[in-house]
Amino acid sequence: MSPHDFFEQLRQSREYRGQIAHLERIPARHARFGDLTADLHSRLRESLAGIGIDRLYLHQAQAVNKSFDGAHTTIVTSTASGKTLCYNLPVLHALLNDRSKRALYLFPTKALAQDQMRKLRDFGLDGIRFGIYDGDTPQGERRAIRRNSHIVLTNPDMLHLGIMPYHTNWADFFHSLAYVVIDEMHTYRGVFGAHVANVMRRLRRICRHYGCAPQFISCSATIANPAELMNLLTGVRSEIIDDDGSPSGEKWFAFWNPPYIGQGERKSANFEAAWLFAEMVRHGIRNITFAKARVVAELIYRYAKAQLEQASLADKIMSYRGGYTPAQRREIERGLFDGTLIGVTATNALELGVDVGDLEGCVITGYPGTVASTWQQAGRAGRGQRPSLAVMIGLDNTLDQFLMRHPEYFFGKTSERAVVDPFNPYVAVEHLQCAAYELPISDLDRNLFGDNLDQTLDVLEEARCVTHRDKWYWIGDGYPAANVNIRSAGGQAYLIYDSAEKTHPLGSVEEASAFQVLHEGAVYLHQGESYVVSKLDLGERSALVTPRSVDYYTAPRSATDTAVKKSHAERRQGASRLDYGEIVVTDHVTGYRKKRLLTDEVLEVWDLDLPPQSFHTEAVWFVLDDAVIEAVRSQGLDPEGGIHGLEHALIGLMPLYAMCDRQDIGGSSCPIHSDTGGATIFIYDAHAGGVGISEAAFERSDELLGSTLKALEECPCEEGCPSCIQSSKCGSNNTPLDKKAALLILRHLLA
C-alpha cells in the first residue's frame, strides 16, 4: 500500500476526527555521483565491488577528495546517505598504504560503535585490525586492542576516563594517530558538548606531545552551524560537505494533532500512537514507533497488542529499549530484517544511525525537541529508495501545538544552531585539572583553553591542585578524571545507584538539579527506563533508586529566586529593556506532585524538607516598562499572571531557536525585582556557568517573541491551557496565570 493510500484510508476510518493537521509530500531524490581525484587502494576497490558499490555519491566523493588533500572535513547530509563511507574510505585507504598509521573513531553511544564495527568487518580487509575499547571491553582484551588495533572505536566518556589519563600506555598509538573521526557530531551540544570540546582539546595536546597532528573527520545531521560547531568542539576549522548526492524514495510526512475531548483537553497522544502503530501493522507497513520514555513505549506496545489480538497479529510486534541485552536487541533487529516482526515501539535508543533495515513507516510520539532529531527518527523509515511515511503526533504543549499550526517552521526552516560553550568556567576548571594530570600545562596551551587560562590556573594553585615552575604541574590527590562526569555541568554530582546493585553508579545528576529529580519518591528516567527514588543521601551526595514500571510521573513544587550579578549586554525591546548576563539562581524544592502519565491528573501531593540550592548561570531578562504594567492593570488584567504565563510560553518555544531540551532552560518572573527595579521575566540556562542558550535567546529575541505571540493568539483557549501558557514543569502549579495579560505584554515588547 502506498503512503498516500494509507493516509486516505485513515481519513475514511471511524476513528478519524480531522487529526491530520498537515500532510507534506517530499519528492523522491535521484542519485548524483562524483569522481575521485586519486585512485583508492586496489584492495579497497575490490572490497567495495564485493558489497555492491561501484560509484560514490557526490558528497562521498567530495569528502574523500578533501581528506586526500589533508583537510579536516565535516559531512552534513541526510539520514542513510552513506556518511560512514566518507570516513571509512580515506582511513582504510591510508591504512592499506601504511600499516603504521592509526585512527580513533568516537561515537556517542556503545550501540553505534557496535554497528560501525560490523560495517568495518563487511569490508573483509585482512590485516586491518580494529577493536572496540569502552566500558564493556573485557580487561583481558584491552592490552591487545591498545597495541594491535589500527582503528580503535570508543566514546568520549572512555577517551576521557580510560585512555587519555593513561596515555603513556598508548604511546605507540598516539605517535601514529593519523585520523580522528567524530560521528553524530550534533549530539555534542549543551553541557555534554562543553565537556566533549574540552576532551578534544586535551586529545590535541596529547597528540602534539607525541608528535602527531591528526586529521579530523566529523559527521552530523543537518544543523544551522556545522562549521562553527566543529570549531567549538575541536578548535580546528573544517571543510563543509553538504551537497547530498544520495537517492531517496518519496516520503509522506503527516503532522497528527489529537482531537479535543473536552474544554481545552486533547486525547492522549499515546493512545493515538498505539492506534496508528496498530493500523500500520494491519496494513503490513513495517514501522517503528518512537516514545520519549521506556514506560510510554511499553504502554503503546500493550495498547497496540490488545488491538491486534483479534487479527492474530499480536506476535508481529515488539518493544525495543535501552534495558535489553545485546542478544535481545539483535534478535529484534533480525526480526525486522527478515519480516518476522512488522513493527516495534522504541525510545530514542534507535534514533541514531544503528541499521535496522528498510522500514516503511515511522510514528513519532511528540516533537523530539530539535529538527535534527525529528529527521533522524523519521529517517529510520525509507532508508532505501522505496516510498515511506512518517507521522509526528503533537503533544499538548506550547511547542508541539505551535508546530501543528505552523508546519512551515519545520519543513521550511533551516535547522537550529547547536549551542556549545567550551569555555564554561565550571567545565573548564575540571578539565584543566585532568589536563595537568596528563601533561604539564604550558604557554602552548593558551590557544586551546581560552583567555581565562591563567585566571583558572591561579584558582587551582590556591586550591593546591597545581604548582607553577616553568610550567603548571599537577600536585593534587588522585586521578581527577574519575571525579569529572562529562554529562554534568560541574560541581560535585549526586551519584545514582540501583538499590539492588550498589557497586557501580547507574548515572549521576549535577548538584544544581539534584533535588528537582532525585528527591525521595521521584520517578527517575535513565535510558528510557523508569526508577523510583527510595533514598536521597545529602551527606554522601547519592540516591538509591528501584526499577519500577509506574503509570505516573512526578513534578517538583518549588520556589525560585534570582539575583543579577552582571549585565554583559542590553538593548531596548519595545518600550522595555532586554539584558543578557550573569545571575545567581536559588531554587527551593518544597514538595512534589504525582501526575498520571496519560492525562496529567494529579494523584497525590507530597511535602518535602530540603535545603535551598544556588548556582551561577547565564540568563536573559526582560525588564518591563512601568507603562506596560499600567496598561495591563487598566484593562482589569493581572500583571503577575501575565508575566508568569509569558515566561512559560517563551521557555516552551526556545528549542525552536537553539538545539536544547526543555530541561536545559529555566525561568522565573517577579512583579517587582529588587535588582532591576521593575517587573522582570528571567529565562536562564539551567546548568551552572551557562551553555549558550540564553545568548541565543538574546540574539534572536524578536523571532522568539514573534513566534510566542503567534502561539498565544492562535491557541483557541480563552484562559490559557497546556498548549500555550501552562507548563507541566511549573513549580507553583501554574498560578497565577493570565493569558490576556501575557498577550498585551507581548504586543508591547514587539512594539
Exposed/middle/buried for 56, CB within 10 Å: 0-12, 13-18, 19+? buried
Cβ(229)–Cβ(418) below 8 Å: yes
Integer Cα distance of 287 and 637 in angstroms: 49
User: Which triple of cell numbers denotes residue 265?
Assistant: 483537553
Which helix or strand (DSSP H or E) is residue 288 part of? Answer: strand 287-290
CATH architecture of the domain covering 33-241: 3-Layer(aba) Sandwich (3.40)
| Residue 491: per-residue pLDDT | 60
Read off the pLDDT of residues 351-393 as tens digits, 9 standing for 90 and up. 554 555 678 999 999 999 888 889 888 988 887 688 999 999 9
> What pTM does this model have?
0.87
pLDDT of residue 571: 96
Distance (Å, whole) CA 155 – CA 433: 21
Give the span between the Cα atoms of 176 and 188, in whole angstroms. 26
Instruction: Quote the cell numbers at residue 284.
Output: 503490513
Q: What is the DSSP string of 436-451?
A: HHHS-B-GGGHHHH-T
d(CA 610, CA 603): 22
- What is the reported pLDDT for 601? 83
pLDDT (0 to 100) of residue 332: 78
Residue 308 C-alpha from the chain's centroid: 34
Residue pair 583/565 in contact by the 8 Å Cβ criterion:
yes
The two domains 3-25+248-411 and 33-241 share their CATH topology (first three levels equal): yes
Tell me the one-letter amino acid at 89.
Answer: L
Whether omega for the bond prior to residue 422 falls within 30 degrees of 0, making it cis, is no
Cell of 248: 531517496
Distance CA 669, CA 560 (A): 9
Q: Which three cell numbers stand for residue 442?
A: 604550558
- CB atoms < 10 A from the CB of 626, how many? 12
Q: What is the distance between the alpha carbons of residues 720 and 701, in angstroms, rounded to a whole number?
A: 23
Euclidean distance between CA atoms 482 and 595, whole angstroms: 37
Write out residues in the chain with pLDDT < 70, as ranges: 321-326, 329, 349-357, 384, 413-414, 489-492, 527-528, 598-599
Q: Is the dihedral of CA 103, 107, 112, 114 positive or negative?
A: positive
CATH fold, domain 3-25+248-411, is: Rossmann fold (3.40.50)
Instruction: Determine the Cα–Cα distance for residues 267 and 525; give it in Å rounded to an integer.
Output: 24
Residue 218 φ then ψ, to 5°: -125, 155
| For the chain, domain boundaries | 3-25+248-411, 33-241, 425-483, 494-547, 557-749
- Supply the pLDDT for residue 528: 57
Nearest one of 88, 115, 104, 201 to 154, comparing CA atoms? 104
C-alpha cell at 516: 528537582
- Closest Cα partner for 244 from 90, 380, 81, 88? 81
Q: Residue 23 CB: number of other CB atoms within 10 A?
A: 17
